[in-house]
A and B are shown apart, each in its own frame.
Chain A
Amino acid sequence: MSTLTRVSRRRFLQLTGLTATGLVLGAVMPRNRALAGILDEAAGAQLNLFVSVTADGSVEIIAHRSEMGTGIRTSLPQVVADEMEADWHRVKVIQAHADARYGSQNTDGSRSVRDFYHIMRQMGATARALLEQAAALTWQVPVEECTARNHAVYHSGGGSLGFGELAARAAELPVPAPESLRLKDSADFRYIGQSVPIVDLRDMTTGNTTYGIDVHLPGMLYASIERTPWLQGRIASYDSSAALKVKGVLDVVELVAVAGAPGFNPIEGVAVIATNNHSALKGRVALKVNWRKSEHSDHDSGAYLDELAARVEGGTGEVRRQRGDVDAALASAASVVEATYRTPYLAHASMEPPVATARVTDERCEIWACTQTPQATQRAVAEALELDVAAVTVHVTLLGGGFGRKSKPDFSVEAARLASHVGKPVQVVWSREDDIRHDYFHACSAQHFKGALDDTGKVTAWLAREASPPIGSTFDTSVRRNGSGGLSQGFANVPFAVPNLRVESHEAPGHVRIGWLRSVYNIPYAFGVGSFVDELAHAAGVDPAEFWLQLIGEDRFLDFSADGFEYSNYGRDIAEYPFATARTKNVIRELVGSIPWGEKLPPGQGWGLSVVNSFLSDVAVASKVEVRDGRLRVLELHGVIDAGRVVNPDRVHAQMEGGMIFGLSLALNGEITFAGGEAAQSNFHDYPIARMDQVPAVIRSHIVASDAAPTGVGEPPTPPTAPAIANAVFAATGRRIRELPLGKHFSV
C-alpha cells in the first residue's frame, strides 16, 4: 500500500494509535511526483501526515484546510511548529491535496482551529519526540537527556544536532503512542498566541499568488457557460452557429444536468470553449439558447416573502422548543410587544468567482480549484467521470474568498466534464454575472415574535416563529422546513431566562438553490432576535445593554433538551463545549465598558448593540450611526469576541474587522430578488458590497483573554452586526426598521 511508502514494516505494525478524529499519528502520505502540478509537494523525510524535514533542515508542514482569507494556512502550521520546536523562519507550508487521510478538509463552519488545534499539537509533539529519539540513538544516550529547542535537539551534557541532520533517522523510527506524547506547557508557547504574519503575505502584495483563476496548464482552454436562469430549467434548443464563428471559439458543448435535487451538481447549460477568456465570453453573447421552464420559473421573491410573513403571523407552526405556557402568559401580560422581520436572499460574491481547471488523461483526472472542500470535489468529480476516487487528484489553490460558496464542488465537476469531452485541459471561469445569478443563495426569512412584559418590565413570555427555505431543500426537494441544525443557529437556542417560551417553524419550500453564507442562518435569526430584544428593551424602558443582561439572566449552562429542543451545538458535545451564559454576558459587559455607551449624542445619532453565540463563540457588536436628511452613515463599529484560546490574535482581529464589515455590507446593501424565477441582480452595480467610503472610520475589536478550548472565529463576528446597526438607527431616529437591507429605507 503506497500510503506507507517510507514506513518500515516494524513501524507499520506500530501504527495503532488513533487520535480522536481517526488520524493516524505516524501515517505518511504517498509521493505523487509524476503528477506534481503548479503547487509545491513536500520533499523531505516524512515524520507523519503533516510534517517532513529535509536534509538541509527545512521543516515542511502540511496545510490541509483551504486558505480563503482567515489565515488558516498559517495558523494551524503555526501550532505544529510551536509544538515540535521548529523555527518558523525555516518552515515551509505545503498545501495538501484532497485526501481522506487528513481527516476533514471541509473548510467551513468556523472549525479549522476548533477541530484541529489539538491534533496539530499532537502532530507537532510526535515529530518532536521522533527527532529527540533520533538524537538519543545517534549519541547513544537516554532520550530523557535530549531536548528539542528551536530547530535542534540538545543534549543535557552539551552538543546539539539540527533537525535536518536528524530527519532521515527520525523518519525510520517507531511512532510514539499518543498517550506517551508530552505536550508543551502553554507558558512555553513560542508561536501559539502570537500574531505570526501569514505565509502568503509577501506574494499577496506582489501579485505572485496562485488562486483558482491563475492556474495555467499547457494547452489549456477556457470555458464560459450559459446556464438556465431557473432552478431545474432545461435546455429546449440552442443555436451555436454564431458563437462558433467568434475568433478563438473552438467548441460549444451541452452540459446536461443530472436528474433530481440540485445538490452539488452543475446547473444545466451550454459551454463555449475557447482559447482565451475574451473569446469564450464573446462566444457566449453570440450563443442563442431557449430554455424549458420548470415549476420554479414563476418564483417571485417579494410575493414569497409576503407568503412567509403571512404564515408566521397567521398561526402556530411546528413547535420546536417549549417551556411554560406562552399563551397564558401573553393573555395575562401587562403589555405585549409583537413584530415581524424580513431578511432577503443574499449572494456570496467572493471577489474571485468560482473557477476550476481540469485535466483528464488515461483514466485519471486532476483538478486545480479554489475549493473549500477538496474531498467532496474529489468524490463529485469521480462520480461524474465514473472514476475511482483514488484516480482523482485535487490540488487546492488559494481562494479569493469563499464564504461557503466554494464548499460546493459543482464548478469542478463542470471543468472535469468539459475536459473529458474535449480531451484537453479546461478552465471553467464563472463570470461575475454567473456567480450572482446562479449562486447557492443564502436563505431569505420571515420571523414573527411576541413578547410579554409584566408591570416591572420583565419578560414573562417569548414566542418566536420563523419560515425560511431550508438548505436541506437543495439536497432533497421534499424538505420544506428548517431542521434543528438550522434552528440551532440563533433562533431556538436563545439563552433567555424567560419562564414561558415557545419556538416554532413554518414551511418554506425551496425555489432556488439554497446554500450557506458566512454564519448561515445566524444572519437572519440574529437580525430578528437582536432587533426584537431591543424592541422589548425600549418597551420596558430599560437600557438595552442592561436589558440583554437581565434577559439572559443568571450564570448557568444551558440545557435546551429540557425544553424539548434538540440543540446541535455545531456538532460538538455540549458537555465538552457548554453554552455558558456567563461568557455571553461577559462580552456584552466588556463591549459596553470599552465604548461611551449611554453617552448623550446629538440628534440624529445613536448607539445600538447586539450579541450572538454562534459557532461556540460569543460576539457582541456595537454600532454608532448618524441619520441625516435620509442618509444613514455608520460612524463606528466595535466588537468583542470570546473564542477561547486564540492561536493568531492578529488574524482574529482581521476576522472581526472583516466579519463586521461583511455584516455591515449585508445590512446596508445585501439583497437578491427573484422575478419570473430569475435573479434580478447580476453584478456589483445592482448587488453592491460595502465600499471603503461606507466603512466607518472607527472599527475596533477586542479579544477576551481565555485559555478555554478554541471556538469559531471566521463567522461569529458577522451576525450581531446588522441588528446592532438597525438598533442604532432606532436610537438615532425612533424608526424601527424590520426589513433588510437598510438601503431600502435610507440612502447609504
Chain B
Amino acid sequence: MKLTINGTTTELDTEPDMPLLWALRDFLGLRGTKYGCGKGLCGACTVHLDGQPRRSCQLTVADAASGEITTIEGLSGDGSHPLQQAWRDFNVPQCGYCQSGQLMSASALLASNPAPSDAEINTAMAGNLCRCGTYPRIRAAIRSVAADAASGAGASAAEDGA
C-alpha cells in the first residue's frame, strides 16, 4: 500500500484495516500524532486528509491511501505556520500532549474559514479535548491569526485599489 504523507510517498506493509494513527506511530516513526481515545472522541490524533481534518484513529490506512496526508510534522516542516507561531506567542501548551491535534484542527479551520467567529471556533474545536484546560489560549491564538489574516488581506486589497 502506498501512502502520501507530508509530501512523501511511502510504501507500507500493514493490514488495510490498521488505523492510520498506529501506522504513523508504530511503523513510520511519526509520533507527533497522539493517541487519546481511539474512538474519535478526543481529537489528539487529528491529521489532514486532502486538507480536511480527520481523526487518524478512525481512518484506516486503506482510506488514507486515497489522498494526501499531512501530520503535525508536515504542517510547516519548520514550525513556522502562523498558528504554530501564535501558539508560542500565547504560550498555549501546558503538558502539550493534545496540541498536535489542536493545531491540526485549527489549521484546517483557518484554511477553510480564515476569519471564523468565536462560535465557529468553538464548534470546529469542540472535538479536540485538552485536559489541561488550554482552551482560552487556543481560542486567543486562533483569533490572533484570523485577525492578522484579515488585516493582511485588508492591506493587500488596499494596495490593489491604489
Contacts and interface: CB of A to CB of B under 8 A. Distances in A.
Nearest to B127: A691
Given A276-B26, A351-B95, A692-B138, A205 B79 contact: yes
| Most B CB within 10 A of own CB, among A207, A214, A352 | A207
Interface residues of A, number: 64
A67 B36 CA distance: 18
Contacts of B32: 206-209
A491 interface: no
A352 B88 contact: no
A277 B22 contact: yes
A70 interface: yes
A702 to B, nearest CB: 15
B91 A692 contact: no
A197 interface: yes
Interface stretch (A251-259, A360-368, A471-479, A655-663): A655-663
Secondary structure at the A interface, as helix, strand, loop or mixed, is loop
B88 A197 contact: yes
B18 interface: yes
Contacts of B23: 278
Nearest to A67: B95
A205 B97 contact: no
Contacts of A349: 131
A650 B92 CA distance: 10
Interface in A247-285: 247, 275-278, 281
Contacts of B73: 206-208
B32 to A, nearest CB: 2
Contacts of A429: 35
Given A650-B91, A692-B139, A209 B96 contact: yes
Interface string A336-356: 000000000000011111000
Interface residues of B, number: 63
A109 interface: no
A70 B41 contact: no
Contacts, number: 182
A206 B91 contact: no
Nearest to B93: A204
| Most A CB within 10 A of own CB, among B31, B118, B127 | B31
Given A200-B96, A204-B99, A693-B126, A222 B26 contact: yes
Interface string A688-712: 0111110101010000000000000
A206 B93 contact: no
A658 B133 contact: yes
A278 B91 contact: no
B84 A205 contact: yes
A449 B69 CA distance: 58
B20 to A, nearest CB: 10
A161 to B, nearest CB: 34
Contacts of A689: 129, 131
A208 B93 CA distance: 13
A398 B88 CA distance: 18
A685 B39 contact: yes
A419 to B, nearest CB: 17
Contact of A658 (B97, B121, B132): B132
B99 A205 contact: yes
A168 B142 CA distance: 48
A399 interface: yes
A654 interface: yes
Interface in B76-130: 76, 78-79, 84, 87-88, 91-100, 103, 118, 121-123, 125-130
B53 interface: no
Contacts of A69: 93-96, 132
A58 to B, nearest CB: 22
A354 to B, nearest CB: 12
B31 A198 contact: no
B145 interface: no
Contacts of B135: 661, 690, 692, 695
Contact of B33 (A200, A207, A400, A665): A207
Given A202-B88, A205-B79, A277 B26 contact: yes
Interface of A: 67-71, 195, 197-198, 200-209, 211, 213-214, 216, 222, 247, 275-278, 281, 349-353, 398-403, 429, 431-432, 650, 654-655, 657-662, 665, 683-685, 689-693, 695, 697, 699
10 contacts: A69-B93, A204-B96, A351-B131, A401-B132, A402-B95, A431-B38, A658-B94, A692-B121, A692-B139, A697-B118
Closest 7 CB pairs of A and B: A207-B32, A400-B97, A661-B133, A69-B95, A204-B96, A207-B72, A69-B94
